A and B are shown apart, each in its own frame.
Chain A
């Protein structure tokens, strides 16, 4: 049981390039989330999904797009990367929306934009 798997683990981009981060979960969770983690800023929610085919904006959605075409996958895209998007990105999933459903996090993807 792999839990939440993020690929790639590391990536270096030049300003203006595009890329996609993939998150895959094998727990049949309905909800999936993308967070970014910056020094001194904690974890900030970028986008989330409450089920296959749905997406919603979080606290810091600008510059990112997401898709949830399959229940087990949640993709985070950067269409035109900027240095401000240098960060560590974490994907998480949970069974449902209520407080009883714990977040399970991936190991993170470190992105550097030059």
Chain B
């Protein structure tokens, strides 16, 4: 089955800095790569996704890039704010998730 690795497991940044989280996957046939944000005590919520026919997608301060050849995709958050503090999960298709990254944005 699909294997998804997510790094780093924890990330601490200063407010205003950028944060990057990377995921690698194993199945070259995978075609959908969402990112979820989970706040404390809540279920994950989709923040951005990308399909295999696109290399990059942006939504305000959030962007996702996909490198199909290398089988990795990354979440980029610019101008981080304290409310960005949460656990972020990558996923491949809808069935396989990474182990999560705890992002802490320090004021």
Q: A90, B49: Cβ atoms under 8 Å?
A: no
B39-54: CB near A (< 8 Å → 1, else 0) gives: 0011111100101000
Q: Is A2 close to B, CB under 8 A?
A: no
- Chain A residue contacts of B32, Cβ below 8 A: 98-100
Q: Is B94 close to A, CB under 8 A?
A: yes
Stretch of B55-63, B65-73, B76-84, B97-105 with 4 or more beta carbons under 8 angstroms from chain A: B97-105
A33 to B44, CA, bound (A): 13
Q: A42, B43: Cβ atoms under 8 Å?
A: no
Q: Is A27 close to B, CB under 8 A?
A: no
Q: B98, A48: Cβ atoms under 8 Å?
A: no
Q: A107, B42: Cβ atoms under 8 Å?
A: yes
Q: B43, A108: Cβ atoms under 8 Å?
A: yes
A97 to B45, CA, bound (A): 18
A103 and B94 contact, Cβ closer than 8 Å, known pairs A43-B89, A90-B43, A90-B44 = yes
A107 to B95, CA, bound (A): 18
- Chain B residue contacts of A103, Cβ below 8 A: 34, 36, 44, 46, 94
**Could you say which of B46, B49, B99 contacts A42, with CB atoms under 8 Å apart?**
B99
Q: Is B12 close to A, CB under 8 A?
A: no
